[in-house]
Amino acid sequence: MAQSDTVNRILDAAEVLFAERGFSETSLRMITSKANVNLAAVNYHFGSKNALIQAVFSRFLSPFAKNLEAELKRVSERHTDKPIDIETLLGIVTSCIVMVPAQSKTGVSVFMRLLGLAYTQSQGHLRKYLEQEYSRAFKMFMKHMREATPQLTSVDRFWRIQFMLGTTAFTMSSIEALSDIIENEMQVHSSTEEVVKRLVPFLAAGLQAPLQN
């Protein structure tokens, strides 16, 4: 199968380069030369650069959404009486994220960095695509989140979830650079797992912070 090999080589190269440099700053020529394929291959297999960007996202977001929906459904069937608590809910999300790289070859940090880019780079087509493609999984997650935080108004809950997402995406995307800094300045080694351990209490405390009036 020469076809799928070329397609995957393009996706692999694009994924890394997009994560490193952003979308506009990554040219098709960079991608194809890193993937060792012909320049025209991108337009032949994907149709356009925008379609390639969407394909990069759906390759890791589709398994993640599928995992998440399945896991949420599974756990909620055992919680028919009481809602799922926050810690369990966050645990489900993180475990589903960690599951994806095991299936494909995408690293967690690349995963999160791309997720962050999708949010910050105002690529209109991407945002629309993601919204209509994964709205079901997102709404499902939000439903359980709503039940787990009844003390919050819907507006406060929305924003705090965004804060959480932002913190995670940003930290994960810059984790290598920050680890280097801290290793130089304090002679302490920080693995991704250790950073996540530090991150979770931060997020949980923020999410449950007293409301300001």
Residues found near DNA in the complex (CB under 7 A): 2-3, 5-6, 26-30, 37-45, 47-50
Which residues, including other chains, have CB under 8 Å from residue 147's CB and lie 6 or more apart?
83, 84
* Helix (H/G/I), strand (E/B), else coil: 78: coil
Q: Select the binding partner of residue 159 from DNA, its own copies, none (C-beta < 5 to 8 A, by kind).
A: its own copies
Q: Identify whether the C-beta of residue 11 lies closer than 8 Å to the C-beta of residue 45.
A: no
Do 88 and 75 contact (CB within 8 A), yes or no? Answer: yes
Angle at the Cα of 193 from the Cα atoms of 201 and 142, rounded to 5 degrees = 50
Structure-token match 């599974």, residue found = 74
Cα–Cα distance, 105 to 117 (Å, whole number)? 19
Give the one entry of its own copies, DNA, none that residue 54 binds, where binding means its C-beta sits below a cut-off of 5 to 8 angstroms depending on kind.
none
100-123 b/e with 16+ CB inside 10 Å = b?
bbeeeebbbbbbbbbbbbbbeeeb
Closest residue by Cα to residue 207 from 170, 168, 160 = 160
- Contacting residue, 49, 50, 170, 192, with its own copies by CB under 8 A: 170
Partner from DNA, its own copies, none contacting 2, C-beta within 5 to 8 A by type:
DNA
Size of the site for its own copies (CB under 8 A): 51
Residue 145 binds which entry of its own copies, DNA, none, CB below 5-8 Å type-dependent: none
Q: Which is nearer to its own copies, 76 or 179 (CB)?
A: 179
Site string for its own copies, 125-154 (x = CB under 8 A): --x--------------------------x
Residue 197 binds which entry of DNA, its own copies, none, CB below 5-8 Å type-dependent = its own copies
Q: Which of 94, 109, 174, 192 binds its own copies (CB under 8 A)?
A: 174
Could you give the count of Cα atoms lying within 13 Å of 53 in the half-sphere of its Cβ?
A: 25
Which of 120, 136, 143, 191 is the binder for its own copies (CB under 8 A)? 120
- By the criterion CB under 8 A, which residues form the site for its own copies? 20-22, 24-25, 116-117, 119-122, 127, 154-156, 158-160, 162-163, 165-167, 169-171, 173-174, 177-178, 182, 186, 188, 190, 195, 197-212
